[in-house]
A and B are shown apart, each in its own frame.
Chain A
Amino acid sequence: MGRRTSGSWPWRRPLAASRVWLVAAATFGIAVAPLPLSSARPAERRVRIEASMAGFMPAAIAVNPGDRVTVELVSTDVVHGLYLDGYGLSVMADPGQPATLTFVADRPGTFRFRCSVTCGPLHPFLVGKLHVGSKGIVWRAAAIAALIAGAAAWPVRR
């Protein structure tokens, strides 16, 4: 086996086209592969969320796909709203007058909910999270990131 020159040693070469295609195919597979279905049966879920100018409490909620969720929004200081990303639903509560929002959590994923009524200086940052089922997008993205790192870290052999 001959001595390698600077132009032929493994790390100097770009990734082989075959490896790029392999990574691209695997990325596509990870992105579209169906996740295991939740074994939990859909249930009625009632969640009380207290909103104040400092934030939502609780600020992270987890439900199962298919759950029928009723959010009871309780405002503890000024008028607050709750807008749920992805579902496009909203509800508004005056202080001392809880309001409810009921929906079926039929879209899996992680969704931000945020205050929809200007309530104070931190209003744009009044954010919470609703997890419906597993954190699919994060795990998929993390798996793709690991795949990219593995492909880049592995030296090219020809």
Chain B
Amino acid sequence: MNRYDLLRLPPVRAVLASRWPLLVIRAAALGGYLLVVVAGWVGTPVGNRNLSVVLVWIAWWALLILLAVPLMGRAWCSICPVPIPGEWLQHGAVLRPPPAGRRGWSLGKRWPKVLRNTWLQNAAFVIVTLFGAVVLTQPRVTALVLALLLLAAVLTSLIFERRAFCRHLCPVGGFIGLYSQAAPLELRVKDTALCAGHREKTCFTGSSDGYGCPWNLFPGGMVKNVNCGLCMECVQTCPHDNIALNVRPFGADLMQPRARRMDEAAKALILVGSAAAYSAVMLGPWSQLKTAAYSAGSAAWWAFALVFLTLVLGVLPAAFYLAVWAGSALTGSRRGGRQAFVRFAYSLVPLGMAAWIAFSLSFVFTNGSYFWPVLSDPMGWGWNLLGTADVPWTPYLTGILPPIQATVLLAGMAWSTGLTRRLAAERGPSPRSGRAAVPVILFHLATTAVLLWLLVG
């Protein structure tokens, strides 16, 4: 049914069912991560001459938002170095599960029930955005943020079971998780009845072949990508070969009525608002806004923070709620204000992702050529290891970027409006139910117009 299991391809299966390739990639990523932290701390304070800023905020970000997330969802999470040291300590092993009876160094506590959501991730993302202009330009601040993330992940793994940090704290994980629902890749079971009849549930509890799902999921009940980190552990532990890595239609999760949540709805709005804020600060011509966003702690920064928080956490959700409420009023419905708000918020996913792609295109292509000098001189100390230290700054494709950005935004909006129609149709069979879509579509139109003005105008 519109799915193709990549694990049916022997080379893909050979790579993903073996622990070694992932271990090698993760170890290399961890090495690069530590190098970035060191470079940020001891290297030049000039951001565009320091490996930390250029590698993380230009190269990694470009790969993440332009390729990895839209096409492979949470694939980055499978090789992300941040949780790896903590997970090794938690497991007491690096590659395979240790022999029975040997335990790792974790208290193994369950994550508090009240926090089993993504509200902390949402808060973390907002905080990072508030300090975005500083984090993205100051190598030492970048290094500090990365080091704190690593430390937080280790501590979380030592106290709590599984990957609590990735599920509930990582600010980037929340971003990737939400947009992974649009990606044409999913890990699912082939036959849920087989899982239901499997008493041991080794995919969740673990076995001598592998660990129980590090993401605290039962694959047999998984209907969305949001929390699956594609670590492939369940491929190791399923004794029935019941796991599939499917190529599927884009956006398949967004029409999934199960597991819709208010924290994800809030995240969808926060991410749209943040994309607009980043575009205004970094790509806009308003020098006072840039200075305010950069001067963390100053009165101007507090004013910036107040305006940002009011817009992203107040005005934008209120306007969206108003649109959903107006839609309900048009249908004559008296029920489900909160439910409808959550349901329609998923229609923001394509537009939000398009906004981030359009923003990143400009930022990445304009600053991409800084990558070549830092390859040869990662610390900014005057080295020329590969002979590329003197490659001049050259903006790429800036002549054709605006039409590309406009096209991306319009494609995202078209996807969002189509999705809105289908989400409205969920409440059939009344023919009037579809009217609920109209104000939400107008909200998408207004959001797109603002983004066009910020990014292209």
Contact = CB atoms under 8 A, between A and B. Distances in A.
Nearest to A60: B285
A137 B401 CA distance: 11
Contact of B410 (A122, A144, A152): A144
Interface SS of A by simple majority: mixed
B282 A85 contact: no
B281 interface: yes
A45 interface: no
B420 A152 contact: yes
Contacts of A57: 287
B58 to A, nearest CB: 9
Contacts of A88: 399
A89 B46 CA distance: 25
A57 B47 CA distance: 24
Nearest to B282: A125
Interface in A96-146: 109-110, 112, 114, 116, 118, 121-125, 127-129, 135, 137-138, 140-142, 144-146
A103 to B, nearest CB: 14
Nearest to B366: A114
A85 B424 CA distance: 42
A149 B409 contact: no
A153 B438 contact: yes
Interface stretch (A6-14, A34-42, A72-80): A6-14
B92 interface: no
A144 to B, nearest CB: 6
B60 interface: no
B424 A121 contact: no
A69 interface: no
Contacts of B434: 9-12, 155
Contact of A127 (B283, B413, B421): B283
Contacts of B282: 124-125, 127
B437 A11 contact: yes
Interface string B351-393: 0000000000011001100000000000000000000000001
A138 B417 CA distance: 20
Contacts of B136: 124
A124 B457 contact: no
Given A55-B291, A122-B291, A11 B421 contact: yes
A85 B395 contact: yes
A4 B429 contact: yes
A138 B457 contact: yes
A85 B399 contact: yes
B457 A110 contact: yes
A59 interface: yes
B48 A118 contact: yes
B455 to A, nearest CB: 10
B281 A125 contact: yes
A133 to B, nearest CB: 13
Contacts of B399: 85-86, 88
B307 interface: no
A11 B426 CA distance: 10
A148 to B, nearest CB: 5
Interface in B263-296: 281-288, 290-291, 294
B406 A85 contact: no
B227 interface: no
Contact of B137 (A10, A12, A122, A152): A122
Contacts of B46: 118
Nearest to A148: B414
A62 interface: no
A145 B291 contact: no
B398 A149 contact: no
Nearest to A152: B417
Contacts of A145: 409-410, 413, 445, 448-449, 452
Contacts of A109: 402
A54 interface: yes
B257 interface: no
A134 to B, nearest CB: 11
Contacts of B71: none
Contact of A112 (B283, B424, B430, B449): B283
Contact of B287 (A9, A12, A55, A137): A55
A149 B417 contact: yes
* Interface pairs A-B: 3 shortest CB-CB: A55-B287, A11-B434, A6-B429
29 contacts: A54-B290, A55-B285, A55-B288, A55-B290, A56-B287, A60-B285, A114-B366, A118-B49, A121-B138, A121-B294, A122-B290, A124-B282, A124-B366, A125-B282, A127-B282, A127-B284, A135-B457, A137-B456, A138-B456, A145-B409, A145-B410, A145-B413, A145-B445, A149-B417, A149-B444, A152-B417, A152-B418, A152-B441, A155-B434
Given A5-B429, A55-B285, A122-B291, 20 more contacts: A11-B424, A59-B285, A59-B287, A85-B398, A85-B399, A85-B401, A86-B399, A109-B402, A124-B282, A125-B281, A137-B403, A137-B456, A141-B456, A142-B449, A145-B409, A145-B449, A148-B445, A152-B418, A152-B437, A153-B437
Interface of B: 46-49, 133, 136-138, 281-288, 290-291, 294, 362-363, 366-367, 393, 395, 398-399, 401-403, 406, 409-410, 413-414, 417-418, 420-421, 424-425, 428-431, 433-434, 437-438, 441-442, 444-445, 448-449, 452-453, 456-457
